[in-house]
A and B are shown apart, each in its own frame.
Chain A
Amino acid sequence: MASILSKEGFKLRFSGFTNRTRDWILSGRKFFHFEYYKELLYQFRSQMGVFSSIQLIAVILVFIFFMILPLLAVIGSAFTVNGVFSLVWFRIIFTDPRFWPVNGCTGIPIQIIGDYLYIRGVDCGAIINSIYVGLSTTLISTLIGVTLAFFMARYDFHGKSILRILILVPILSTPFVSAIAIQKIFGEFGMLNLLFYDILRILPFRVIFEGLAAVILVQSLHFFSLVYLSTYAAFLAIDPSLEEQGENMGAKGFGLFRKITLPLALPGIEAGAILTFILSVEDLGTLIVFESDPIVRRTITYQVYSLIFAPTGTINPIAPALSVILLLIAMIGFLLIRRYMSLRHYAMMSKGGTWNPRLNKPKWWQYITIYGFIGVVLFFALLTPLGILLLAFSTEWGTTVIPVNFPTVINFFQVFTDPLVLQSIFNSLFYSTVAIILIVLLATGAAYIVARKNLPGIGGLDLLVTIPIALPGIVIAMGYFLFFVRIPLFASSILNPLITAMPLLILAFTIRKFPFTVRSTFAGLQQTNVEYEEAAENLGASRARVFAGIVIPLVAVSVLSGAMMSFVYCMSEVSVSLVLGGVNPDQAPLTWKMADILYQVAAGSHHAAVLGLLLMIIQIIIITIVNVVLKSRTESMVGL
């Protein structure tokens, strides 16, 4: 291949470019011919049955009205002043030290004062703060997740089956309360400092996590499990003969891992890592718990949240511009995922179906490393649910290892006497159930069309239904306010969130948690031979009958496990729930009520922990079903 720098090489590139451009322009001509549209219509009618067409139209309509148009409303507001194009909001943001480090960064990231070690992180303005929190969380989560996945996928050791279950615990998503639990346990006189500094005297300092460092800590202890799941699946998907071939040629140990295993698993690792970045940047619950610290408030997500005043629908004019920046950061991550997802299948290229993954018996020193590493990770990861448990069964947790009056069930009585709590639980269950019904109805169709139909624009549909994973909830919430409140057509309808929050909450859940079901169904379809459907069609079955009688039964498990994960994530949805829930407390979902209790009630954290515990139990039941009964796949767990 000639170098681009040489004359020939340049010519080669350039002629390739011009040829491609010419072809593209020539192919563009077809759009001016009536025949093209006639053919397109025929293609559409010959491939799409009535049912699929209805599903397709419904998907497109739902996504246009409840995702694209609200987002366009945000972007529109960000770039205009009184309807005229303007960059003034961005100019304001980039000259304000709260958002952009015009005067450089401030703060001392790590500081020792007396026998105190403070780990804080620096303040560089909301934009850089959000990015570096995201990157740090991603880096830490990836290091832990990949190492863990490697040990679990490649070594066979005692107690592995129980460890495999315990490692799934951090995936439980309990907004607010997990952050509170960590805040208590890592606090100045928290469990860890008491144990390791005061009692055991292992630590030379009292270690205090503050500010953004605390946020990174909370997020890392949760998100490493995502990277772990995604990487573990990637390791298991590697055809063992590829590694054996490498060994056969003389590679071994770390060399084999670095040269063969890691590159093959890289797409899976990268997908998990980038997803972690996106979720970290858009995480709102943790920021709210730590909001008493001014640096924590200086993050984009928190700023956008605080600039929306839900009860009246008032939005600070710089909020849309901030949202656009947040959207951009998340979107860059998403486009990176898409790039790597297309590479993902090459590790599984060699055919042959099921194989026995390679499992090594560790040597004695590897045993020590594996148990040591998993032990430390699990210790920290299990602190979160432990903390929630302790909080839920106590009323005061100040300066002791275990709360003073543990255990007591008084919180349960107090929490459940509030009728709004019961109402919010019912609301969340109701919204999530309706959302899941909508998701299943639409996602099966969308996945089927993307997997099986060969029509122009299929790539666009695929993008449309997977993109919500990268859309920060707070941006969607703002879009709803901008779009459904300000457009007169909707302002007097039930879609106006100031009138009733319910329809928009359900639709927001539907859109935001759509990818989990769609990806899981898509993966199921990819593993199902098309010949099953063709055989039915050949015998005279209509497209609707093929879909209902053949496709759905064959991918039912994938649909179900995806739907259950969508349900789990609907129940613990934070951003949209907080913003829209504030309008009318009667219609608020569970997560809004949790935040409300934190703000309103004296023993708020203990009461919220009760609700967190409830969420955990629901999630454990569902994840157990998904894993044990449905033997499910990672696609549904991480939504990729």
Chain B
Amino acid sequence: MVTIDLKELTKRFGEVVACDHIDLHIKDGELFTLLGPSGCGKTTILRCVAGFYTPEEGQVFFGETDMTRVPPNNRNTGMVFQNYAIWPHMKVFDNVAFGLKIRKIPKNEIRKKVLSILELVRLGGMETRTPFQLSGGQQQRVALARALVIEPRVLLFDEPLSNLDAKLRVEMRHEIKRIQKEFGITTIYVTHDQEEALSISDRIAVMELGHIRQVDSPKDIYEEPQNLFVADFIGSCTFLQGTISSANGKKITLKTSWGLQLHGRTTRKDLTFSKGDEAFAAIRPEDFRVREPKAHFNKLSSTIESLVFTGRYYQVYADVGGTHPVKAELAADAEIKVTDKRDLFVSYKDVIILKAEGDPFADRIRSLLEGKAEAD
């Protein structure tokens, strides 16, 4: 099919820079996700690729062809919209056949293609329904069929599952992935839902404020966050602020202002850590334990501040010193009560140490820890 390249892509809306000099290479047949909070510029990039926006600077390439100023109707992309955009004045069949009619494909062939694609998205026999007779999930499938049937070079998804209920969302996620792999179409998928992004994508670009903060496979995004924003956005890390007290080889030690020593590792192989550097330790709630592991662990003495039973685990806020409690998910079989004094354990490999210097998100974490901004 085709690769997609974005070169120095910049789109402004008045004073606001929606995406700022974005460089991206999307491989042939890949399902590539743009992930980030609302307003980070992910939809802007998607719409530049679809042709609905013309960037102020930079270019969009499909393969070797510069598409930057090609109108959307000549790009041969198939887009699935957030609100599905199923035309209410047309039956399911006519909705799906629309793109084929424009391509002047013979009638009997249109019929064959539409019926077979409807079969593929499991809407067989529904071609005479009107959109009002369809559920949200079915409308979603019509939108997908309509985009697929024209055999586009590129598939574009703009938060396609955000209007579905939780169960249907998981189901459609698998469906989209299955069909995308079956067709092998290069795909850009926009979402703010990290679980969705991690489960569906071949690669993910995490975005913030018009910039791409990290591009990696889902596993690397999750396990090797390269900066504070990604660490914060993926999973809900607790951050502990301190200074580097020693750094030898892979093992880095951070000392907090109240004297807590944390051993950990860094995901930034490119940076050297030296004593006295300001840094943050990021720990995921699921990495805390109440039972002592075999070796290579940190021990944090804590007081349990609050406790919520969620079924699989206790969600716990525990005071380990400092201004903010740590968030931990502890095994549901542990005996825990509020005000208990418990030792929490976390392995060295689960403490990710990231430098404050040079990280645009450091100020935000600092003010979170100082209680100036509300924690989420």
What residues of chain A have their CB less than 8 Å away from a CB belonging to chain B? Answer: 42-43, 46, 529, 531-532, 534-543, 545, 550, 553-554
Contact = CB atoms under 8 A, between A and B. Distances in A.
B73 A541 contact: yes
Interface in B74-96: 74-79, 81-83, 85, 87-89
Contacts of B81: 531, 534-535
6 nearest CB pairs, A to B: A539-B99, A531-B85, A535-B85, A538-B79, A531-B81, A540-B102
Report which residue of A42, A538, A540, A553 has the largest number of chain B beta carbons within 10 angstroms of its beta carbon. Answer: A538
Given A531-B83, A538-B75, 17 more contacts: A531-B81, A531-B82, A532-B85, A534-B50, A534-B52, A534-B81, A534-B85, A536-B87, A536-B98, A537-B52, A539-B73, A539-B150, A540-B74, A541-B98, A542-B73, A550-B87, A554-B87
Contact residue range for chain B?
A: 20 to 34
Contacts of B87: 532, 535-536, 550, 554
B71 interface: yes
Contacts, number: 67
Interface string B253-295: 0000000000000000000000000000000000000000000
Contact of A537 (B72, B89, B150): B72
Contacts of A539: 73, 78, 98-99, 102, 146-147, 150
A538 B146 CA distance: 11
Contacts of B76: 540
A538 B83 contact: no
Contacts of B85: 529, 531-532, 534-535
A534 B76 CA distance: 13
A602 to B, nearest CB: 57
A48 to B, nearest CB: 11
A51 to B, nearest CB: 14
B69 A537 contact: no
Interface string B97-109: 0110011000000
Interface string B132-175: 00000000000100110010000010000000000000000000
Given A534-B52, A535-B79, A540 B89 contact: no
B99 A540 contact: yes
A539 B102 CA distance: 8
A290 B89 CA distance: 52
A537 B81 CA distance: 13
A532 B79 CA distance: 12
Contacts of B99: 539-540
Given A539-B98, A545-B102, A46 B71 contact: yes
Interface of B: 50, 52, 54, 69, 71-79, 81-83, 85, 87-89, 98-99, 102-103, 143, 146-147, 150, 156
A477 to B, nearest CB: 42
Contacts of A550: 87
Contacts of B98: 536, 539, 541
Contacts of B78: 538-539
A534 B50 CA distance: 10
B146 A540 contact: no
Contacts of A529: 83, 85
A541 B147 CA distance: 13
A538 B71 contact: no
Given A539-B102, A539-B146, A534 B74 contact: no
A539 B74 CA distance: 9
7 contacts: A42-B54, A532-B85, A534-B85, A535-B146, A537-B73, A540-B76, A554-B87
Contacts of B74: 540
Nearest to A538: B79
Contacts of A543: 73
Contacts of B88: 554
A43 B55 CA distance: 12
Nearest to A552: B89
Contacts of B150: 539-540
B174 to A, nearest CB: 24
A43 B71 CA distance: 11
A538 B156 CA distance: 10
Contacts of A42: 54, 69
Nearest to B149: A539
B73 A46 contact: no
Contacts of A538: 50, 72-73, 75, 77-79, 147, 156
Nearest to A533: B85
A543 B72 CA distance: 10
A112 to B, nearest CB: 65
B79 to A, nearest CB: 4
A42 B70 CA distance: 11
Given A531-B83, A534-B81, A540 B69 contact: no
Report which residue of A531, A542, A545 has the largest number of chain B beta carbons within 10 angstroms of its beta carbon. Answer: A531
A262 B146 CA distance: 47
A535 B94 CA distance: 13
Nearest to B72: A537
A537 B79 CA distance: 10
Contacts of B103: 540
B73 to A, nearest CB: 5
Contacts of B143: 535
B82 A541 contact: no
B341 to A, nearest CB: 44
Contacts of B82: 531
